[in-house]
Amino acid sequence: MLSTFWQDWGGAIEWAIGVFGGWWARAGATRLQSQRNSIDAATQHTDEMRLALEREQALQAVVLKSRCEAQESWRILYKREAVLIAYHAAAIGARLKVHEQDVANGRPPTPFAPLPGYPSAQEVDGISQTSVGSSAGKPCS
């Protein structure tokens, strides 16, 4: 009986098993491809994040270096300004001594050309020496 059943329906059963097996294999392959795609997408996202972090670190280093260079430039400016202030004060003191000697010798005061002005720390772009020296963040080395 089984042999007659197999002879009558064996081809159809084999065909049905082949169709079902093919569908099952295709479903499994589709599922594996979907998993590969999600893993690839996660890997790509991770790579993009790594590149973004590396770019941010490089830019942060450039910004910190520029900030340190700017602070050093301001320090040099304030040192030069201090020298100018000292020379300005010395010139005014020398003028006063010359005028005192003129008065002591009975001569009229010697005329001098006006001294050029010098900017104070507050007049230089509204940035004071204390605000440059106390910047937040990493100290410059």
The 10s digit of each residue's pLDDT in 2-46 is 788 778 888 888 888 888 889 899 999 999 999 999 999 889 999
Flag whether 34 is in a domain.
Answer: no
CB 85 within 8 A of CB 118: yes
Q: What is the pLDDT of residue 120?
A: 56
- Does residue 102 lie within any of the structural domains? yes
- Is residue 104 in a domain? yes
- Specify the number of domains making up the chain: 1
Measure the CA dihedral 90/92/98/99, to 10°: -160
pTM for this predicted structure? 0.48
| Helix, strand counts (H, E) of the chain | 2, 0
Please enumerate in sequence order all residues whose Cβ is within 8 A of that of 71, keeping only pairs 6 or more positions apart, or say none: 132, 133, 135, 140
User: Quick one: pLDDT at residue 17?
Assistant: 87
Q: Could you give the percent of the chain with pLDDT greater than 70?
A: 84
Residue 111 resides in a domain = yes
Token pair recorded at residue 65: 């270096």
With respect to residue 80, please indicate whether it lies within any of the assigned structural domains: yes
Cβ–Cβ < 8 Å for 99, 110: yes
Token code pair at residue 76 = 């040099």
Q: Mean of the per-residue pLDDT values for the chain?
A: 84
In contact, 108 and 102? CB cutoff 8 Å: yes
42 assigned to some structural domain? no
Please check whether residue 28 lies inside any domain of the structure: no
pLDDT in tens, 51-102: 999 999 999 999 999 999 999 999 999 898 888 888 888 999 999 999 999 9
Question: Does residue 94 belong to any structural domain of this protein?
Answer: yes
Higher pLDDT, 116 or 22: 22
Domain that holds residue 86: 66-134
